[in-house]
Amino acid sequence: MTSTPSRTLSAGIERWPIAGSFTISRGAKTEAVVVVAEIRQGSLTGRGECVPYPRYGETPDATLQAILAMQEPLTIGMDRGALQARMQAGAARNALDCALSDLEAKLAGERIWTLLGRPAPKPCTTAYTISLAAPEAMAEATAKAAHRALLKIKLGGDGDADRIRAVRLAAPRSELIVDANEAWAEDNLAANFKACADAGVTLIEQPLPAGKDEALSRIKRPVAVCADESVHDRASLAGLRGRYDAVNIKLDKTGGLTEALAMADAARGLGFEIMIGCMVATSLSMAPAMLIAQAARFVDLDGPLLLARDRDNGLRYDGSLVDPPDAALWG
């Protein structure tokens, strides 16, 4: 019997300053707080990054402890498959799943997409996010980004119709998607849908609170609607039919690339369009998501563009065009 090669686990909390601030309907922040897991075997180290999200009751400290609690299972040979059964979906599992994927690729001397039997990722166009603010301020920020092909507009409830109109005037040629982050209500849904349709918006993300989105099955949807907070992993897909046209897959919600790939396949099988999304984080968070981006109708992997600086060997962005990761970064 051969013994399992020794693996050691380390993890830490990192803080990356945001260029300015990032504002959505639930508040503003000036830094991205991420947790990085590293799994070392011999001279090789696999890395994964996650973003704990208070919306789901996650904190950096609790996420860090959940990751470090997996030292013994990793020592005795826990792989990605066993990880799915041992941990629930969420940020901590995402960091470990991506670190295991990275290590697997390094040990094999192959890119991870080859090992997974997936096509090699190609450059893709990402959305660029405009933070929530007054219509005039959003129009000013949009005008500076109007050269970008795809803009994602953060909305927040009262006054959103004015924000939508102001943004469209500032970027007449850009494709627009909007993200309400659960801030709309049933009584303003029709008016906000009309404002989006009039402005030529392509997609509306999560207009109503998760668990309170029944109205979406009763109202005519003139613009495609995408689930974000209402969808997490494959188990949550079936209940979305009739309410949503697309699903936003984020690795911090699915608990890693392993579930995200399976979820994307299942979602397409149910007729949903795919959006690949992100939290504000470094390129280490974006890199695994590039595998999902290849079959996504909408790509939103602009996290590093919102930071004051990115980590070494980060993804290459040429405007809104983002290249696949180099092996020095991940995978």
Q: Phi and psi dihedrals of 105, rounded to 5?
A: -65, -45
Q: Is the dihedral of CA 80, 86, 91, 96 positive or negative?
A: negative
Structure tokens at 205: 């993300």
Indicate which residue of 29, 144, 152, 250 is catalytic. Answer: 250
CB 291 within 8 A of CB 118: yes
Beta bridge partners, 154, equal 179
Q: 3-state class of 285 per DSSP?
A: helix
Beta bridge partners, 128, equal 151
30 membership: H or E segment, kind and range: strand 27-41
Indicate which residue of 106, 152, 154, 253 is catalytic. Answer: 154
Measured CA to CA, the distance from residue 325 to residue 328 in angstroms comes to 8
Sequence letter at residue 262: A
Report the b/e string of 2-36 with b at 16+ CB within 10 A. Answer: eeeeebebebeebebebeeebbbbeeeeeebbbbb
Is 154 among the catalytic positions? yes
Q: Phi and psi dihedrals of 212, rounded to 5?
A: -130, 40
Q: 3-state class of 277 per DSSP?
A: coil
Do you know the residue count of the chain? Answer: 331
Is 250 among the catalytic positions? yes
Q: What share of the chain is helix, strand, coil (3-state, %, to 5)?
A: 35, 25, 40
Tracing tokens 């984080």 back to the chain, one arrives at 281
As annotated, the active-site residues are 154, 250
